Amino acid sequence: MNAPKPKDIEALCTAKGMRMTEQRRVIARVLAAADDHPDVEELYRRCSAVDDHISISTVYRTVRLFEDAGIIERHEFRNGRARYEQIPESHHDHLINLRTGEVIEFQSEIARRLGYRLVDHRLELYALPLNDRSKP
């Protein structure tokens, strides 16, 4: 059996023995297709566009199930809303634009250049565009 591709949340769920209802499949597919870090309300909006029978409580329960199974990761980016992404194949950090809420993923090679192998860390940078002179 081939290992699931990193973006195939549905296959990861199946590999972990989860029962996959049609609504869970929709949620898994929408999460896998996300190139941002949606919160539950945004995820619900996207899922209900695919299947208008999905309730927000189903999305909340499914997100919790996927998180508990180690398939997706929860982030708290200072705005009071949890945002989600699939557990990445390789570690990356986040730069959050405080004006727009955009989350930019990046990797730093500083430790490797200095002769170290990172074993753990968490980095979130909160930023404003250089041309934005107003206070956060």
Q: Is 116 left (phi over 0), alpha (psi -120 to 50) or beta?
A: beta
The pair phi, psi for residue 105, each rounded to 5°, is -90, 140
SS3 111: helix
- Check if the beta carbon of residue 91 is closer than 8 Å to that of residue 107: yes
Please answer whether residues 25 and 10 qualify as being in contact, where contact means their C-beta atoms are separated by less than 8 angstroms. Answer: yes
Per-residue pLDDT of the chain (136 residues; tens, 9 = 90+): 344 444 689 999 999 999 999 999 999 999 999 988 899 999 999 999 999 999 999 999 999 999 999 999 898 877 778 889 887 776 777 788 878 878 887 777 777 888 887 777 777 777 888 887 776 6
**Residue 45 CB: number of other CB atoms within 10 A?**
14
